[in-house]
Amino acid sequence: MEHVDVLVIGGGAAGLYAAMTAGRRGRRAVVIEHANRVGKKILMSGGGRCNFTNTGTTPENYLCGNPHFCKSALARHTPWHFIELVERHRIAYHEKELGQLFCDESSKLIVRMLVDECTSAGVRIETSCSVERVAHRDDGQFELHTTHGAFVATSLVVASGGLSIPSMGASGFGYELARQFGHALLPTRAGLVPLTLSGKHHERLAELSGVALPVVATCNGQSFENFMLVTHRGVSGPSILQISSYWQPGDALTLDLLPGVDAYEALFGWQKARPAAEFKTVLGDAMPKRFAQRLCEVYLPHGPHTRPLRQYTPAQLRAIADVLQAWPLVASGTEGYRTAEVTLGGVDTDGVSSSTMQSRLVPGLYFVGEVLDVTGWLGGYNFQWAWASGHAAGLAA
C-alpha cells in the first residue's frame, strides 16, 4: 500500500492542472489515468491546435445550476495566468476570433507543457491504470485499489471528465463515485453538439449538406451569431453548437438568416433598387444561392418566388421578412455524446465549495473540470474552467 498526499483520478486538462498545482506546493501527487496516455481530449481539441483559453472569459460564459459557482475559481486563475505559462514554455499562439487563443503549431505542445510541469513538480503519472475500488477509511483517508497496486491519500481529486467522446476514454466513473459519496447529480446530456433533423425537415435540407451561412441562433432567451453548416444529418457549425447547450427536444429554436440586417428594410430596399429582378435571384445574392433557392421553394410564404420583386405587396414583404428573421428550425435531437464536445449537468455544485472544489459532504474529496455541473460555451471556455477549477483544488488538496 503506497502512501501519498493527493490522488487524482483522470489525467485530462483539469486533473493534470490540479496535480501540477498540488505538486508545486510540495504535495506528493499521483495521477491515475485509465487511457494509455494523458490529455487525449487536449490533443484532439481545436482541430489539433487546442483553443486553450478565451481572453474574454466571464462567469456568464458558463451554464451551471448555480450561476455564481464558477465566479471564485475563474477570478483567481484567469486566462492571463494560463497564457503566462504558455509563454514561459515558448509555445506560439494566436487569436482566431472573439478572444479564442489557439496554438500556432499543435495541441501536443500543451500536453507536453502540462506533463513537463507535473514532472518538475514531482507528480507521478500512472497511465493504463484502472481504478477497481475506492474506499473511505475510518481515519478519513482514501484508499484506492488500482490495476497498478493500492494507494492511500488524504486527498482525492475526481477529474474524470464527462461522457462526451467515449472512444477517447470518457466514462461515467466520476458520477458513480460522487453518488457513492452521497453527492447529488444533475441530469447529464450532450452539449456543444450538432443537431439532427428528421422527416420532411431532414429531406428538405439534406441535399444542401456542406452549405454554410451566418445566422443568429436563438433558443430559450439565448442567442449566438456565427456560422451554421448544413450536414447530412442536420445542422452544425459554431452557432448551432453554441445554441445546442440551451436547447432540449421540443424547445423552439429560431434562426435569423440575415444577421445584423432589418429584413423588411432590406427587402423593401431591394424592391426599389431592382424591381424587375426575380425575388429568388436577389435573395441568392444575400446568402448562399442553393440555400436561398430552397427557402423560396418550401419555406417562404407568397411564392412562387420566380416573380419580379415589383409584384410583391408591402404586407407580403413583411410576412417574408418575418420568416427570414426568425426561421423556425425543427430539430429532432442531437448527435449525442459520440460527437459532443462537452457534457451538460453532472455533480451538483451545491455540494461543492466554490473556492476549493472540496466536497461539502466528505472532507478531502474534490471535484474538478467537466465532471461538475459547469459547462462553458464554445471558444476555449471549457479549458479555462478545467485550469481554474484544477488550480483551486490543487491549492487546497
Binding site for ligand FDA (CB under 6 A): 9-15, 32-35, 40-41, 44-46, 50-51, 131, 159-161, 164-165, 169, 171, 173, 341-342, 369-370, 380-383, 386
Identify which of residues 34 and 183 has a Cβ nearer to ligand FDA in the complex. Answer: 34
The Cα 255–Cα 103 span in angstroms is: 32
Residue 10 beta carbon to ligand FDA: minimum distance, rounded to whole angstroms:
3
> Exposed, middle or buried by CB within 10 Å (0-12, 13-18, 19+), for 259?
middle
Residue 389 beta carbon to ligand FDA: minimum distance, rounded to whole angstroms:
8
Residue 56 beta carbon to ligand FDA: minimum distance, rounded to whole angstroms:
13
Identify which of residues 35 and 229 has a Cβ nearer to ligand FDA in the complex. Answer: 35
Q: Which three cell numbers stand for residue 112?
A: 507536453
The Cα 286–Cα 279 span in angstroms is: 11
Who's near 265: CB < 8 A, 6+ residues apart?
none
Q: Are strands 253-256 and 327-328 parallel, antiparallel or unpaired?
A: antiparallel
Tell me which H or E stretch contains 101: strand 100-103
Residue 190 beta carbon to ligand FDA: minimum distance, rounded to whole angstroms:
10
Residue 315 beta carbon to ligand FDA: minimum distance, rounded to whole angstroms:
47
Q: Are strands 195-196 and 333-334 parallel, antiparallel or unpaired?
A: antiparallel
Identify which of residues 131 and 317 has a Cβ nearer to ligand FDA in the complex. Answer: 131
Residues 388, 73: contact at Cβ < 8 Å?
yes
Identify which of residues 9 and 267 has a Cβ nearer to ligand FDA in the complex. Answer: 9
Residue 29 beta carbon to ligand FDA: minimum distance, rounded to whole angstroms:
15
Q: Are strands 131-136 and 142-146 parallel, antiparallel or unpaired?
A: antiparallel
Identify which of residues 45 and 218 has a Cβ nearer to ligand FDA in the complex. Answer: 45
β-bridge partners, 200: none
Identify which of residues 149 and 301 has a Cβ nearer to ligand FDA in the complex. Answer: 149
> Exposed, middle or buried by CB within 10 Å (0-12, 13-18, 19+), for 3?
exposed
Identify which of residues 41 and 294 has a Cβ nearer to ligand FDA in the complex. Answer: 41
The whole-angstrom distance between residue 20's C-alpha and the CA centroid of its chain comes to: 24
3-state DSSP assignment of residue 246: coil
Name which of 90, 116, 161 is nearest 385 in CA terms. 161
Q: By beta-carbon distance, which residue lies closest to ligand FDA?
A: 12
The whole-angstrom distance between residue 93's C-alpha and the CA centroid of its chain comes to: 20
Identify which of residues 136 and 289 has a Cβ nearer to ligand FDA in the complex. Answer: 136
Residue 365 beta carbon to ligand FDA: minimum distance, rounded to whole angstroms:
15
The Cα 5–Cα 141 span in angstroms is: 10
Residues 11, 385: contact at Cβ < 8 Å?
no
Residue 12 beta carbon to ligand FDA: minimum distance, rounded to whole angstroms:
2
Identify which of residues 351 and 369 has a Cβ nearer to ligand FDA in the complex. Answer: 369
Residue 273 beta carbon to ligand FDA: minimum distance, rounded to whole angstroms:
43
Tell me the Cα Rg of the chain: 25
